[in-house]
């Protein structure tokens, strides 16, 4: 049992970044565990959906594929916005990225 708890903790911390949190209330703890539960169930559902006969698929494989798919969609979106001549600051804002490197330094 201890092995499963330890590997589960490491999985959520290292692979999914669930180590950056501060829980100050009972409600916060409930929400945190709910988010972890939903995240794991989403990944497990995807694992079963993408499973191929004879090829073992881990949750880590699913996380890497989801990240890769998201990155690809983001690049395609940015390309389409560039073709439509959208301002780069608007595209970065939509992608929730910063445009600070486009600003000229203050003198």
Segment 28-34 shows an average pLDDT of 87
- The β-bridge partners of 55 are 52
Give the structural domain span for 86.
Answer: 2-102
Query: What is the pTM assigned to this prediction?
Result: 0.68
Domain tally for the chain? Answer: 1
Statement: residue 23 has pLDDT above 90: no
Q: Is 94 part of a structural domain of the chain? A: yes
Give pLDDT tens digits for 33-87: 898 889 989 999 999 999 889 988 888 899 999 999 999 998 999 999 999 999 9
Statement: residue 96 has pLDDT above 60: yes
Tokens representing 58 are 């881990």
Q: Is 74 part of a structural domain of the chain? A: yes
Q: Is 25 part of a structural domain of the chain? A: yes
At a CB cut-off of 8 Å and minimum separation 6, what does 43 contact? Answer: 59, 62, 63, 66
Q: Is 37 part of a structural domain of the chain? A: yes
Q: Is 86 part of a structural domain of the chain? A: yes
Statement: residue 15 has pLDDT above 90: no
Q: Is 107 part of a structural domain of the chain? A: no
What pLDDT score was predicted for residue 42? 93
What's the Cα-to-Cα distance from 11 to each of 3, 14, 19, 42, rounded to whole Å?
Answer: 12, 6, 10, 15
Statement: residue 107 has pLDDT above 60: no
């Amino acid at each position: 049992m201890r092995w499963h708890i330890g590997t589960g903790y490491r999985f959520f911390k290292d692979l999914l970044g669930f180590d950056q949190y501060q829980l100050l209330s009972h409600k916060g703890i409930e929400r945190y565990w709910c988010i972890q539960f939903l995240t794991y169930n989403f990944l497990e559902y995807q694992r079963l959906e993408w499973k191929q006969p004879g090829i073992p698929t881990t949750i880590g494989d699913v996380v890497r594929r989801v990240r890769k798919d998201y990155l690809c969609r983001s690049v395609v979106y940015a390309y389409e916005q560039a073709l439509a001549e959208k301002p780069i600051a608007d595209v970065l804002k939509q992608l929730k990225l910063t445009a600070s490197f486009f600003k000229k330094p203050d003198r």
